[in-house]
């Protein structure tokens, strides 16, 4: 029998396979070969035979940033790849740190990025509500279950005592931890304090001897939490649960099959598994995504305001470019390439390729990604129509009083500009910047400026008008470049450079920007006509 190792398509763990087989085999000792193999297949894959249900569970203590988007994206791709469900759950248990508007905005941003949840606070779903503050009964009920089975207990230690414990530990050079004193209260003492209304929390009893677990990405892991931590609070004095309890309760009742989250939670997973065990629940499979960092390996800080998704949106970054750059710097694909859209990301995704290395994000490459995706949008007729509308708004906002001829707002004119500039610009915003203002606003120039360049302006202007007329409605770069060169040779006293300067002046009023022929193709015959008529007027009077 020949065996080799790869990841199982059903459970995504690295397993041994019978050559040619698609399901994994775990070799079980002491059984005849056949039975042994079949038992192993069932055992490994049985856990994942149900529906794939994954969740993105941010806390609305801030707006969505790139790190969060990346976690949401991998969950989304994973769910779509395996025909599953993607859930957005808002973990708003830390009521003091809630940021107004963040909850709404997180869901808005997922919709904007085109990775919408199937179940969420806004969309609802059969296993909701999806806002933790609306699920308090469930957490209390679970905490009671833990108390009754002896896995949790009431703690009446005052803040003052906890503060003293902390100070003492720090003074002794140790990490502060709760000393588990209230574990030892007698039942009648507890009842008395509860009856007196003494402020309390509920703590989970951490047991030693944590079982190792296999993380989809980081492999075998185990953190003996009881050795380093005091018993953690699961219900706070304000009646709200802490993250650890709420998280496992919701993952259980929302039937989450795979928890894919940032690797900062890897060390908490053993604690979570102890809770699953105490409650007699089957835990989901865990996969911790490596950190997303700056190109130089430094932390991607939320304080750099520019990593918030809203600021990318404001700057004209396309969602697909953001998803593309985020997956390109990470792992999870057989190969990396620029220009992938969400359907391609889904089809090319391979979870067994996610590595433990941090993903180094080079945001300097974002304009390049955006340029590629903008071009793809322009080439798609439906998306191009939306771009035209957007650009019409932006032009009117940028040049409210300067536009002389409303024809520049016409769909066909803008479509031509977009097709002509695709591959050159990264955002629509660029097209309303001063470099491209000539597209929308006719330049103003004086007869003195014309005279300073050449005495043959009249001749040049009429030649241009003639050649444009000859070329008809469809100007092409190739013909124009050739004809302009010929035209420049016909002038007697003006050098080629001066001719081009004059044409630039008439077309854009600027001395930089795209080539003269490119400007002419973008502007089209009608606009060129207007601008050279003006040159004609000024040169006849000069
Ligand atoms: N609320 C946690 C966070 O914001 C969720 C962690 C998890 O996915 O379990 O990171």
Handedness of CA 66, 67, 72, 74 (dihedral sign): positive
| Segments of 217-371 assigned E as strands | 219-221, 233-235, 258-262, 285-289, 292-294, 359-361
Taking the C-alpha atoms of residue 142 and residue 155, their distance in angstroms, rounded to an integer, is 17
Q: For tokens 């630039």, what's the residue?
A: 504
Q: What is the pTM of this model?
A: 0.86
pLDDT (0 to 100) of residue 41: 39
Please state whether beta strands 213-215 and 219-221 pair in parallel, antiparallel, or not at all (unpaired).
Answer: antiparallel
For residue 296, the CA-to-ligand 1 centroid distance in Å is 26
Report the nearest atom of ligand 1 relative to the CA of 55. Answer: 8
Let me know: does 479 contact 452? Beta carbons within 8 Å.
no
Handedness of CA 165, 169, 171, 172 (dihedral sign): positive
> Contact, 13 vs 214, CB < 8 A?
yes
Q: Burial of 404 by CB count in 10 Å (0-12 exposed, 13-18 middle, 19+ buried)?
A: exposed
Other CB atoms within a 10 A radius of the CB of residue 299 amount to 13
Question: From CA 44, how far away is CA 217, in angstroms rounded?
Answer: 17
Nearest to 243 by CA among 55, 72, 58: 58
Sign of CA dihedral 483, 489, 490, 493: positive
Task: Tell me the best of 91, 244, 270 to mutate to test the pocket of ligand 1, counting ligand atoms within 8 Å of each CB and taking the most.
Answer: 91
Atom of ligand 1 nearest to the CA of 261: 8
3-state secondary structure of 251: helix
Asked whether the bond before 19 is cis by omega within 30 degrees of 0, the reply is no
For tokens 């000859």, the residue is 470
Comparing C-alpha atoms, which of 193, 186, 198, 201 is closest to residue 140?
A: 201
Give tens-digit pLDDT for 129-181.
999 999 999 999 999 999 999 999 999 999 999 999 999 999 999 999 999 99
User: For residue 313, what is the enclosing H or E element?
Assistant: helix 309-314
Mean pLDDT score across all residues of the chain: 90
State in words which class domain 447-541 has.
mainly alpha
Distance 283 CA to ligand 1 centre (A): 16
In the chain, what is the greatest distance between 2 CA atoms, to the nearest angstrom? Answer: 111
- Relative to the CA of 251, which ligand 1 atom is closest? 9
Residue 144: partners with Cβ closer than 8 Å, 6 or more residues away: none
Cα separation, 360 vs 74, in Å, equals 16
The rounded Å distance from CA 260 to ligand 1 centre is: 10
Asked if 449 and 527 touch (Cβ cutoff 8 Å), the reply is: no
Count Cβ atoms below 10 Å from residue 141 Cβ, excluding itself. Answer: 10
102: CA distance to ligand 1 center in Å? 15
Instruction: Answer whether 426's CB lies under 8 Å from 510's CB.
Output: no
Cα distances from 29 to residues 214, 218, 384, in angstroms, run 21, 26, 62
Interatomic CA distance for residues 440 and 431, integer angstroms: 9
Please name every residue paired with 394 in a beta bridge, in sequence order, or none if there are none.
Answer: none
The residue whose CA has the least distance to atom 10 of ligand 1 is: 58
Contact residues of ligand 1, CB 6 A cut-off:
57-59, 91, 243, 247, 261, 265
Give the position of tokens 């395996």.
82
The CA distances from residue 428 to 317, 318, 431, 492, in Å, are: 9, 10, 5, 42
Distance 248 CA to ligand 1 centre (A): 11
Q: What is the CA radius of gyration of the chain?
A: 33
For residue 207, give the DSSP letter: P
Pairwise CA distance, residues 82 & 52, whole Å: 7
Q: State how far the Cα of 347 lies from the Cα of 333, in Å rounded to an integer.
A: 10
Enclosing H/E stretch for 4: strand 3-7
Residues of the chain predicted below pLDDT 70: 1-49, 301-305, 541-542
DSSP letter for each residue of 335-397: S--TT--HHHHHHHB-GGG--SSPEEE-GGGHHHHHHHHHHHHHHSHHHHHHHHHHHHHHHHH
**Mutational pocket test of ligand 1: of 56, 58, 244, the residue with most ligand atoms within 8 Å of the beta carbon:** 58
Q: Which two three-digit tokens encode residue 407?
A: 């024809």
Q: Which residues contact 315 (CB under 8 A, 6 or more apart)?
A: 427, 429
Burial tier of 374 (Cβ tally within 10 Å: 0-12, 13-18, 19+): buried
CATH architecture for segment(s) 135-288 = 3-Layer(aba) Sandwich (3.40)
Residue with tokens 């066909």: 412
Whole-number Å distance between alpha carbons of 88 and 78: 14
């Amino acid at each position: 029998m020949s065996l080799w190792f790869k990841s199982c398509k059903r459970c995504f763990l690295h397993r041994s396979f019978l050559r040619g087989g698609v399901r994994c085999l775990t070799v079980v000792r002491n059984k005849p070969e056949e039975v042994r193999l079949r038992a192993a297949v069932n055992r490994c894959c049985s856990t994942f035979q149900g529906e794939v249900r994954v969740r993105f569970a941010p806390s609305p203590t801030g707006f969505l940033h790139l790190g969060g988007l990346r976690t949401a994206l991998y969950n989304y791709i994973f769910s779509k790849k395996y025909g599953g469900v993607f859930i957005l759950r808002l973990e708003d248990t830390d009521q003091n740190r809630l940021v107004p508007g963040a909850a709404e905005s997180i869901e808005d941003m997922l919709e904007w990025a085109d990775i919408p949840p199937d179940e969420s606070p806004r969309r609802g779903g059969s296993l909701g509500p999806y806002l933790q503050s609306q699920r308090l009964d469930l957490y209390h009920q679970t905490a009671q279950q833990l108390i009754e089975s002896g896995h949790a207990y009431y703690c009446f230690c005052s803040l003052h005592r906890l503060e003293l414990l902390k100070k003492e530990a720090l003074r002794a050079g140790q990490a502060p931890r709760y000393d588990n004193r209230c574990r030892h209260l007698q039942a009648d003492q507890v009842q008395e304090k509860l009856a007196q209304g003494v402020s309390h929390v509920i703590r989970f009893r951490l047991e030693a001897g944590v079982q190792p677990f296999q993380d989809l990405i980081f492999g075998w892991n185990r953190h003996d939490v009881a050795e380093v931590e005091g018993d953690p609070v699961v219900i706070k004095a304000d009646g709200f649960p802490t993250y650890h309890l709420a998280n496992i309760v919701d993952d259980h009742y929302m039937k989450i099959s795979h928890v894919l989250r940032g690797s900062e939670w890897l060390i908490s997973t053993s604690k979570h598994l102890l809770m699953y065990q105490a409650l007699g629940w089957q835990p989901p499979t865990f996969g911790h995504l490596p950190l997303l960092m700056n190109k130089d390996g430094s932390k991607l800080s939320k304080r750099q305001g520019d990593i918030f998704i809203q600021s990318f949106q404001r700057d004209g970054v396309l969602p697909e470019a953001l998803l593309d750059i985020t997956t390109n710097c990470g792992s999870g694909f057989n190969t990396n390439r620029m220009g992938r859209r969400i359907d391609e990301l889904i089809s090319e995704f391979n979870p067994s390729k996610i590595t433990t290395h941090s993903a180094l994000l080079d945001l300097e490459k974002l304009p390049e990604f955006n340029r590629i995706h903008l071009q793809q949008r322009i080439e798609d007729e439906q998306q191009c129509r939306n771009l035209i509308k957007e650009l019409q708004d932006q032009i009117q906002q940028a040049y409210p009083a300067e536009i002389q001829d409303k024809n520049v707002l016409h769909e066909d004119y803008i479509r031509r500009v977009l097709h002509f500039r695709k591959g050159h610009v990264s955002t629509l915003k660029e097209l309303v910047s001063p470099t491209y203002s000539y597209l929308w606003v006719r330049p103003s120039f004086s007869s003195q400026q014309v005279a300073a360049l050449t005495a043959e302006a009249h001749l040049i202007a009429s030649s241009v008008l003639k050649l444009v007329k000859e070329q008809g409605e469809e100007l092409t770069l190739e013909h124009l470049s050739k004809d302009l060169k010929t035209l420049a040779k016909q002038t007697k006293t003006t050098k080629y450079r001066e001719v081009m300067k004059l044409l630039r002046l008439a077309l854009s009023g600027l001395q930089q920007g795209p080539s003269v022929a490119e400007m002419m193709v973008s502007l089209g015959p009608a606009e060129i006509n207007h601008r050279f008529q003006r040159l004609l007027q000024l040169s006849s009077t000069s």
